[in-house]
Each structure stands twice: as structure tokens, then as C-alpha cells.
Structure 1
Amino acid sequence: MAHEHDTQAVEKAPQPSAGLAVAVSDPVQNPGLPPHRKRITDKDPKAEKRAARIVYGLFYFSVASSIWAVAAYMLFPIEDGSMASIRNNNLFIGLGIAFALLAIGIGAIHWSKALMDDAEVIEERHPTRGSEETRAAVVQSFADANRESGFGRRKMIRNSLFAALAASIIPGITLFRNLAPNDGQNPVELLGETMWQEGERLVRDPDGTPVKASEVTLGSAFHIIPASLATLSHHDGYLEEKAKAIVLLVRLLPEQLTESEDRKSWSYDGIVAYSKVCTHVGCPVALYEQQTHHLLCPCHQSQFDVSDHAKVIFGPAARPLPQLPITVDDEGYLVAQSDFTEPVGPSFWERH
């Protein structure tokens, strides 16, 4: 009975009409392209010239914005370290760079929409060949693109674009140039000396709390700076000295440490201290994996083995992180035995 009921239900199901079947089987007709509408710049020479003036005006505005970014770098220095100086420096330099790049983008879009050739083109697909005819067609396509865009003909637009692109690089060069030493000193010598010295207490960054060896628990990692750093103001080079002296303090089981004979006295009861400045390009190495004892640089993924002299086990870094020799004073606080015995930071400083 159930089978007969199912059969009757199938027989009573509505069937598609013949007209619907014909509509589905008919192919969709190609509507073709809509009628071409000329732009105002195609019909009015004055509008064309006005559009051209807007384009190269934007490009020259980009040049002025790039120059302003460089001027703002000098007009709003941050040597005093105050928040107002930092805010003004970042604001006005950022505005100059932003307007420089924005003007190039808007100018290029307006150029393409108002002045370049506006004809619709349909290209049929065909097999790609390397014949002489194909190469000749490629050359011709470049010539056509030059003609349609007016790149070779519109000298004011072309030259202003070149000027804007060239000027947009200047702010970056200015900012990065100031990172290099400007007093004639050798970078290796500058990075070979930090504020660490014999008896210098290890304190937490940034609150300056001294650290006792008993406070460093197994598997923990402390961000450390020298205690005397608190005596420096931003005007006296606080940031520069801190950038060289920052240290990561880690505690392992003493038997987990692989130490050479000349470095066995550099640690204290499994506590080791290594520079946080990556030996690749100087990024802060601060990601510690407790189970593997690996330090990870977030910039380019260099990895260092804390249990084995912070040697490089992965990534582009060329040498281990410099180790800070440490011990404890009479009160149980961790102190440095000396400064680093090698330059901190990127290895490229040592190349001649």
C-alpha cells in the first residue's frame, strides 16, 4: 500500500509546461555594448585643458607636500621628549606624506578618467604564440597605449608625475638618514658600549624596580634596564641608551643550561640575561617560549636558544644575542658583572 501511495504521488506531481521548457532552453542573447557617451573633455577643448591643469596641479601639490614633510621634520623636533613635541612631529610629518601620496593617486585616477582614450575595446581570446607577428603586436600595443594615454604628448602631466614620484621618496630618506650616527663615530664603537657596568643593578622596565634573584621564578621572563638609566632625561639621550641596554632576564634549571667554560660564571643559579636587540636588524626580541627555551624576533622570525648561549637556530640573524654577565650583591639583588663583551644589535654594523 505504501508503494502504491508513493506512485500516485509521483503521478500527481505538477509537470513543467512546454512554454517554460522552451524558455529555459533558449540561449541568452548578447545585448551588446550600450551607446558610447562622450565625456565633456572629449567635446570641449577648454574642459580638456582644465582637466590637464588639475592633474599636473595635483602632482605638483604632491611635490609640495613631500617638501613640507621634510620641513616639518626640522620645524617640529622631538629632542625634548615631551608628548606635545612627539605629537606635533608625527602629525605634521604624517600629513605631509599622506597628502603627497594621496595627490598622486587622485591625479592618476583623474588623468585616466578624464583625459585618456575613452573607447571601449573587446579583445578575443586566442592562443599565445611567440611569433614575430606577436612581438610586433606587443610593440604596437605599447605605442597605442602611449598615444591613448597621452603620456608622451602631455609633457606637463608627465614631468609633474615624475617630480611627484621622486619627491615622495625624500621624506623617507630624511627620516631614515637621521638614524645613522652623525658625529663621525664608528657604529661598532657606539654599539659596543652601553650603560651596564660592574655592580649596576638590574631593574624592571619601565617602573625601575630592582630584581632579586629569589623573585625570578622558573620559566619567567623579565624585561630589564640598568638602574642608572633613570638618571637620564630624554634630552640627555635616554631613548638612545635604553635602546642599546635593554635585556631579557630568563630563569631555567641550571642543568638545562649549556655553558662554555669561560661563561659558567656569567649566570646565577640558572638565571641568564641576554640583549633584547636582534642581531639581524635590531628589532626587540621579546617573545619567549617557555617549553622550548626559544626567543623569537617578531620582525623576521629569527629564533635564539636561551639554553645554549642564545645561538641562532632559525632565521636571518647572523650571530647569537650578546650575553650580559650577572651575579647578586650582598642584598640578593641581581647586578651586572660588567658591560656586554661584544657590540649589541645588528651584525651589519661590523661589515667594512
Structure 2
Amino acid sequence: MTQELEKTTPAGDPIADPGLPEHQYRPQDVDPAQEKRTERQIATMFGVATLLLLGFCVAYFTIDQDALIFVNGAGTGGWSAMNFTLGLTLGGALLLIGTGIIQWAKKLMGDHEIIEMRHPARSSEEDRSAVMADINAGIEESGIGRRPLIRNSLLGALGAMGLPAIVMLRDLGPLPGDKLMHTVWKPGMRVVNDVSGQPIRPSDVEVGQLVNGQPAIFFETDDEGHAVMHGHDVLNAKAKAAVILVRMRPEDITPAEGRENWGVDGILCYSKICTHVGCPISLWEQQTHHLLCPCHQSTFDLADNGKVIFGPAYRPLPQLPLAVDEEGYLVAVSDFPEIVGPSYSFLDRDQKKLDEEMA
């Protein structure tokens, strides 16, 4: 059996409930003019924050990214004018919005003491109804419905917060445009060995053989001996332009309508990029004419237009039409007529559009 202990004074009497101190009214509670003045001050903070956010966007597009300020005496360094301005405008806007909200809560929202009694962890229907009533009371006491000036200026400032996000996201890199629908392959461009860079003649490929190839442009140089493509441009182009050459007996090939002349003496050329998630593939079964992707086991029948016969791949392997140039080397007739890469929904939509244009 437990006994409840009571706090007592030295005389043995219980301590009386001290209660709450006398409520101290704020100037805004008793002076309507002060209330209006505070409201205008807060709205001004939100308005200036909106202007700063607009200034952020203007500065981004108008200030030269190489311009410097606060250059030292030697003239060899300084602060980036763009970074300084962007930081000043965005930081100032965030500061004003935060300060305005704090001032609104401290000086204009409801200011009276609330006693909350302890209750069991499980909420009853009465408690939930009471909570909703408190929420509605808080909304009413905040004055958001009665103070359209503050409400509208805050909404404007918060809405303008999206502008810097749009500008900074746009700065992540150039938009792809229609680059996903094209590669560097051009009519008459030679197919070369992926390792040696040597052009390939039909006689160099035996029946049943697979050769990894790529466009000759990666090995071409200008009049001064400099590479036509170099650096990250080569890597980006190689990611889509890699191909495989396979040679089969012509009687084993079943070309689709319009593809009867896409090969040379049984030599066909396909993209090396799997249409599932873009893995490079070259696991060749010469007896069955099947090409296997090592990542997720998608299997393509190269004797039947690269058709998917197993696995999660959605589209056939894109085929590159081939011909022979005046010197007897294998060349591309055109770029891939199909989109090279994984099967995403927007790529399939663009492929459908491309097919309609070609038709």
C-alpha cells in the first residue's frame, strides 16, 4: 500500500498553489496604432525579402562570373562579385523572412497563458476534438484571416523562395535537348577496331567472330595533328557510340522489312549498350547468334534484328546500317535510326515520335 507524500512547510501546512503571475500586456495589445505600426514593419520585412530574392535572380544573369570585388593591393585576387551578391541577397532574404515571422509571433499573435493537464498516452475522442478546437483557436488568434497585409506579403516572400532554387538547379548543367536521340555516327564514317583504331574490311571479320568497334572520329586529327575530339567530349561520345560487329552466314539472318541491305556479306553492326539499364555487352554465342548482357541476363538475337528473347530489356538492340567505302572499309550509312540507351518512358515516347517522322 502506497501513501501520497505532500510537500509541507516547516509548520506542517501544505504549500499553496502559487498560481500564475499577473498577465503583462504588450504595447500592441492595448494600442491599436502600435499594432498597425508593427504589422507594417513585418510586412515591410517580407516585401524587402521578396525584392532581395528577385535581386538574386537578376544578379545571377547580369554579373560576370569572373568579376572581382575587394581586390587586394597587388590586384591578383579578390572576392567573386557574383558569389558575394548571391550570398548577400539570398542570406538577407532568409534573415528577413525569419525575423518577420518571429516578430509576428511575439508581438501580434495571441498572448495568454494556457494550462495543459497531463493525460494518458491514448487520446480519447474528446481530446482529439479539443486539439482541433485549439488548432482552430490558434489560427484565429494568429490573425492570419484578419491581417491580409501580413498574410499576402508572407506568401509572396515564400513564393519567391522558389526562384533561387530554379536558378541554381538550372546551373547544374546544360539541358540535353535532342542529344539523347543522336550519336556521333555520320554517313560515311568508318568503323574502326576499339583497341587499335584500325579501319575494318569485311575480309578482316570471320564467320562467328565478334569485334568491338567505334567511330573513326575518336582517332582523327586536324591539319596540325591535334585530335578532333578530346577530353570529356570523347568519353561522353563513346558512352553512346560503342558498337559490336558480328559476322554470320547470310542465310541465317532474318532482316526486318527495310533492313535487307543493312549488312555487308553477313556482317551486322549493333549498339554495345544494353537497352535495359545501359550496361556494355559483348558476350557472344556464335552458334545461337545470341548476345547476353552480363548485368541482368537480357538476351538479344542478332540474327533477328537484335530482338529481345530473354530478360528485362524492353527494346531490341539498335542496329547501325553498314556499307563499304571506295577503299573497301566498313562505314556507317547513317546514325542509329533508333535511340541508343536504357528504356525509360520518355525515351520510348521520343522513339515513337522518331518512328513517325521516319515513316
With structure 2 as the length reference, what TM-score do the two structures score? 0.45
Bigger share in helix: 1
Greater CA radius of gyration, 1 or 2? 2
With structure 1 as the length reference, what TM-score do the two structures score? 0.46
